[in-house]
Chain A
Amino acid sequence: MNAPLTPTTLAELADAVRSVPRVLAIGAHTKPRLCAVAPEVTLISTLGLSGITEYQPDEFTFTALAGTSLREIASTLEARGQYLPFDPYLIEAGATLGGTLAAGLSGPGRFRFGGVRDFILGVRFVDGAGRLVRLGGKVVKNAAGFDIPKFFVGSLGRFGVFGELTFKVFPRPAATLTLRLPVTDANAATQILTAAAGARWEIDALDFLPTADAIALRLAGPAAALPLLATEILTRFPGEILSAASADALWADLRELRWTFADGPLLKLALTPSQLPALAATVRNHAGKLHVTAGGNAALVSLPAPIVSLGLPALTLRGPGPLWLDAPTSPAIVAAVKTALDPYNRFPSLAA
């Protein structure tokens, strides 16, 4: 494999794409399976494209180069009382904004206001023809042109190389409070996830923990209101309120994926709560671990060794094994859109 190209400006990024027949962008390599491609593909590192280029707190938007670390973004937003509500993963690990968009990875906080797709507003990217283009907008609301920025969520960098991204942000809730609700098994977990998600409490995060013995339920809002809500929730589902320190540690461990096997595959799945019990059984049969988030709509599975199927489509983020398990079939339009955005087939296919 060639040494990665290291552009430091958007013009250099476009030059880099044009300079080689086959390319793929990489960020901080925190989801390495997504960029483990054939050796003839030249990698372009976006780490030289770093920095917030525009931030208007009163617009609820910021624009940053694709290689900007989530750490820098989170701390810049926090200083102005704002945050990325989709609660990205791997902040301490150094993950980049561009990699987060490409992987389509949203953390537990996505339960309340939605995932990456609900906060991406605009993207400046280099298409397969090597042209630097910007689609979407820089304001919180825009309906002009096809929504290519949203299409890029989860696109694995296979349709364009991101240069600069604009996101919507929200004011950071004044306080948070986390409850730990013990459960005996995945069926009991499913019942709580479903009941709590439809309740009046405006829950911020609702997760079935990798320890498989409890639900973590996070509230976020005005400090005075949260204990009142927590009291009511605990009368319905027995459990306890975690201390601030325990809660911070719990969410940080989930965010940084500290619960996973070091060398085995880590996979992402989309599901509905009703599919959770079967998935949990499959994972247990393979001696794996499971973190279910977004009220039972997304899961991360860590396994000691590669397997063939989890019974649902799954994407390998890191570790050995194929990129996809049970990949969904591709309608003809997928190939047509790939050709439209990547006429010279510079980027690897979604399948590999």
Chain B
Amino acid sequence: MSSPVAPATDPVRFLRRLGEILPPARVLAGPAQLAAYESDGLTAFRTAPLAVAVPETQAEVIALVRLCQAEKIPFVARGSGTSLSGGSTPVAGGLVITLNRLNRILRVDPAQRVAVVEPGVINTAVTLAVASYGLHYAPDPSSQSICTIGGNVAFNSGGAHCLKYGMTSNHVLGLKAVLATGEVVEFGGASREQLGPDWCGLFVGNEGLFGIALEITLQLLPRAEVFHTVLAGYRTLEQAGDAVSAIIASGLLPGAIEIMDALALEAASAAVHAEYPPGCEAVLIVELEGPREVVASQRPQLDALIAASGPVEARPARDATERAAIWKGRKSAFSAVGRLSPDFIVQDGVVPRRRLGEALRRIAEMSRADGIRCANVFHAGDGNLHPLILYNGTEPGALERAEMLAGKILHMCVEMGGSITGEHGVGLEKRDYLAEMFNADELDCLHRLHHAFDPLGLANPGKMFPDGTAPALAQHGLHPLEKAGLISRE
């Protein structure tokens, strides 16, 4: 714990003490080493940290947090750096704690259907480790083949199957964490029930502001026996939206309901050679899942609803390979957009589902008015939009214009009664918009809670809150030290 008479931050002494915790090979401080950690999935924001620590054990992570606390050095936990909201963007003068080497699956209990994992375990590795028991880990963010459970916990990641299964927080039963103060706590456990306040629920989605999860107990579900996945192409987005409404009104509860628009389809088909029905402005993906008897009974109902919604073509996946191809196209859409544009911002706003059509129309109008292309991929069942705002970062002012359009879209989501973020978190990207959702008293309540967990404001400062204390730089191009000739990228 920090000493009450701790002197002001002294980077040199901090680095020396860091060397007492980790061997030299696991402390990265050279400019070239740091360059890789300057940004995350939100590449428009870059900051070089003071150093990067590569712990391999929980004890080392705890020691690092306690050192940061004692030396008043801010720290940012980082998994695979896939955050789309800039959640793991470093803090200037701070420490990045990478958790990729804490990647052990500590325990799998097939009878209780739980897995206990370290934060650096990759999302899909959990399902791989339990598949032989007929189980799976439900949350499936698009980056699931590289993103870590620790990052999923920090940002309460979602995915395509949230409608039926919820987000990460719905699947975290227990946590061991080192809080920003250095206190090590354990919340919840292997039971699906709990007594007392839901501390796990509070911790998940803390955006790294409370501390670092060291061990996470995940609920596993029996893998659905069969799937019925349909891809349907529509002339207009509105028709696809109407099909969603009809499905929702029918009483069916699909595992996923997704829509991709023409620009996203163009990108996905180029990237993964997916073939979509030609001439379509939108493609709808709907998936039923469950025991074969249940799906057999619901399938005709879904097929009839889709047939009645006037698709150009509806293609049910005939086997697991075709199903995988449909999902590969959908999940590659974000990165595929990189083929259309050198830079893009992925938005994550939510609107009430019944206003999806209106929201998409307004996004299209704003996009046209601003002369900025915008692709749309979204979780239609949840009203969770992912407009991808395309820009060229080498054009002066292009990022700023893209961010202005992003801001207008967020404003629209709040005005419609939705949210600025469905599953990516506020992070650095949307911190200036938190105040659109919450009034001064509400923000104060969040601040007080934050202060309880981190009185010194050392854990991932500058994320979530508009008055962030850390200067995470909103810049493009060279780092100031590069411009000054002090560092260079090798």
Contacts and interface: CB of A to CB of B under 8 A. Distances in A.
Nearest to A343: B448
A117 interface: yes
Contact of B418 (A58, A137, A271, A337): A137
B481 interface: no
B409 interface: no
Contact of A144 (B169, B253, B294, B426): B426
A202 B291 contact: yes
Contacts of B449: 146, 148, 337, 340-341
Interface in B424-482: 424-426, 430, 434, 437-439, 441-442, 445-446, 448-453, 464
Interface string B205-223: 1100000000000000010
Contacts of A202: 222, 224, 290-291, 294
Contacts of B425: 143
Nearest to A145: B446
A146 B354 CA distance: 26
Contact of A297 (B191, B224, B296): B191
Contacts of B430: 144
5 contacts: A143-B421, A145-B438, A332-B183, A337-B452, A337-B453
Nearest to B158: A141
Main secondary structure of the interface of A (DSSP, over half): loop
B442 A134 contact: yes
Contacts of A194: 111-112
Given A198-B111, A341-B449, A117 B198 contact: yes
A263 interface: no
A110 B191 CA distance: 13
B417 A139 contact: yes
B489 interface: no
A150 B297 contact: no
Given A114-B166, A141-B167, A141-B384, A201 B291 contact: yes
Interface in B356-410: 379, 382-384
Interface of B: 110-113, 133-135, 155-156, 158, 162-164, 166-167, 169-170, 179, 181, 183, 185, 189-199, 201-202, 204-206, 222, 224-225, 245, 248-249, 251-253, 290-291, 293-294, 296-298, 348, 350-354, 379, 382-384, 417-426, 430, 434, 437-439, 441-442, 445-446, 448-453, 464
Best-surrounded residue of A106, A115, A137 (most CB of chain B within 10 A)? A137
Contacts of B156: 143, 147
Given A141-B422, A143-B167, A333-B452, A298 B291 contact: no
A104 B198 CA distance: 9
Given A153-B198, A153-B201, A228-B293, A144 B437 contact: yes
A220 to B, nearest CB: 10
Contacts, number: 260
Given A139-B383, A221-B290, A154 B195 contact: yes
Nearest to B85: A143
A43 interface: no
B236 to A, nearest CB: 20
B190 A272 contact: yes
B196 A155 contact: yes
Nearest to B157: A143
Given A150-B169, A340-B448, A142 B434 contact: no
B195 A118 contact: no
Contacts of A336: 452-453
A39 interface: no
Contacts of A154: 194-198
Contacts of B164: 113
Given A198-B222, A221-B294, A147 B202 contact: yes
